[in-house]
Amino acid sequence: MNVRRPGVRELLRGCFALAFFSCRRRSSRELVPGRVGRRSGAGSRRPPDWVWGLAAALLASVAMNAWAVETVLFRRNNQEQTIVGRVLVTAKDGGVLLLARDGLLWAVPPDEQIRISRDDAPFSPLSREEFASQLLRLLPAGFEVHETANYLVFHNTSKAYAQWCGALLERLFTGFTNYWQRRGFQLSKPEFPLIAVVFADRKGYQEFSREELGEAGEKIIAYYSLMTNRMTMYDLTGLEQSSGPGASRSRMTTGQINQILAHPEAERTVATIIHEATHQIAFNCGLHQRLSDCPLWVSEGIAIYFETPDLSSSKGWKSIGAINRARMTQFSTYLKNRPPDSLRTLIEKDDRFRNPQTGLDAYAEAWALTYFLLKQRPKQYLEYLERISRKKPLLRDEPAARLQEFQAVFGQDLQTLDAEFLRFMTKLR
């Protein structure tokens, strides 16, 4: 079967949306949240400046009345829009970061605002039916919704593939939440249904994702967007090339799909979907906060820790915490020239992840550090995760503060910890 196998660079780029908080462009189809066309163009490899600008000028005050509903009327690109939601952050200059009822985040700077009015009625997310009808209007014609306990899977591919995705995501969700809860981390129930959009083919996916990812979308097979809170991907069975839409795929069973995607060559492709899905769950169950300064080594380390597919069991997720062979190989190669301050630079800043020259090694080291801490320092790691989970949106930490926070939990002596880390990793087989 024709399953495309991504290179390692592609796997890294699979996380583009998260690492860069998804760059976006204005679309005629969808009013993408955020401010467009200013300083950060699509494809930019920096977080959109307008988002951080909102907080930088001002230090953001975090919402006083987190449950009240605000209606924000604003003008963008000569068009008036109204968003109803919960204000998460109010900047000193009046700019707001708003969580809409469909889970989208909107940053509205003061010069776009026309009127903000508050209603003391409690914030409530859209119902599942409202979610479905709203998103179906934004997607190309031909999409349907497959519902599971935690997910709404929007798809224009076969029902069997949507069911296969839904079942995979639910098993991951259960595996993920059980894993942390057993370790004493109190996760919350997702406030919104988790949204996965599955295109029948790569072409449709690329056209749709171009607005968020720019040309980089060609290299990415799935992504989770912090702004829309959605995961977007396409049917991996590859049959779209053999016939017209839906023809042979419509006859496929979920068992056959599983068989194709359980093939060793497909493993890394499926891992990308699981990786992105892990981010989505982590940001929706309270392990991290969207747009907070959660260090990338933490969020990426966790996503990689979970990404190895487990397609063999019908329940549970047995591959959690297994050695990730692809990342282990990368890390072993990195060790040959690893700078002595590698641990510090990984913790202090996210730069190494964003640089194409150093990104793969940073991802591998993030996984290795997460693996080591979960196996050897589980209590401290959990304590650290709890601190990270309390971070508020748009508040950035200086490198020194990040390091301090790490040392407050794991101890001041980074050198000894690093030596222990390397000893542990080099003994792994």
Give me the residues that bind Zn ion (CB under 5 A), please.
15, 18, 300, 303
CB of 332 to Zn ion, least distance (A): 21
Residue nearer to Zn ion on the CB measure, 317 or 367: 367
Bridge partners, residue 100, by sequence:
85
Looking at the Cβ atoms of 157 and 272, the one nearer to Zn ion is 272
Alpha helices in 183-316 (DSSP H): 202-213, 254-261, 267-284, 296-306
Instruction: Compute φ and ψ for 297, nearest 5 degrees.
Output: -65, -30
Would you say 208 or 363 has its CB closer to Zn ion?
363
**What's the CA gap between 47 and 267, in Å, rounded?**
30
Q: How far apart are CA 116 and CA 50, in angstroms?
A: 20
Q: How far is the CB of 15 from Zn ion (least distance, A)?
A: 3
Buried b (16+ CB within 10 A) or exposed e, 314-333: eeebebbeeebebbbebbee
Phi/psi at 195 (nearest 5 deg)?
A: -105, 125
Q: What residues are paired with 118 via a beta bridge? A: 70
- Closest approach of Zn ion to the CB of residue 193, in Å: 22
Structure tokens at 178: 């059980």
Question: Residue 93 belongs to what H/E stretch?
Answer: none
Residue 290 is encoded by which pair of tokens?
């969207």
Nearer to Zn ion, 21 or 154 (CB): 21
Residue 281 beta carbon to Zn ion: minimum distance, rounded to whole angstroms: 12
Q: Of the two residues 211 and 300, which places its CB atom closer to Zn ion in the complex? A: 300
Minimum CB–partner distance for residue 80 and Zn ion (Å) = 36
* In contact, 341 and 371? CB cutoff 8 Å: no
| Nearer of residues 20 and 74 to Zn ion, judged by Cβ | 20
Alpha helices in 219-315 (DSSP H): 254-261, 267-284, 296-306
Kindly state the smallest distance separating residue 280's Cβ from Zn ion, in Å: 10
Nearer CB in complex with Zn ion: 18/97: 18
Query: Least distance from C-beta 300 to Zn ion, angstroms?
Result: 5
Report d(CA 258, CA 1) in Å as an integer: 12
Nearer to Zn ion, 85 or 309 (CB): 309
Number of other CB atoms surrounding residue 184 within 10 Å: 11
C-beta of 318: minimal distance to Zn ion in Å?
A: 22
Judged by CB, which is closer to Zn ion: 143, or 353? 353
Rounded Cα gap, residues 357 and 333, in angstroms: 14
Greatest CA span in the chain, whole angstroms?
61
Minimum CB separation from Zn ion for residue 416, in Å?
Answer: 29
Reduced to 3 states, what is the DSSP secondary structure of residue 301?
helix
Return the residue nearest Zn ion (CB atom). Answer: 15
- Give Cα 77 to chain centroid, integer Å: 28
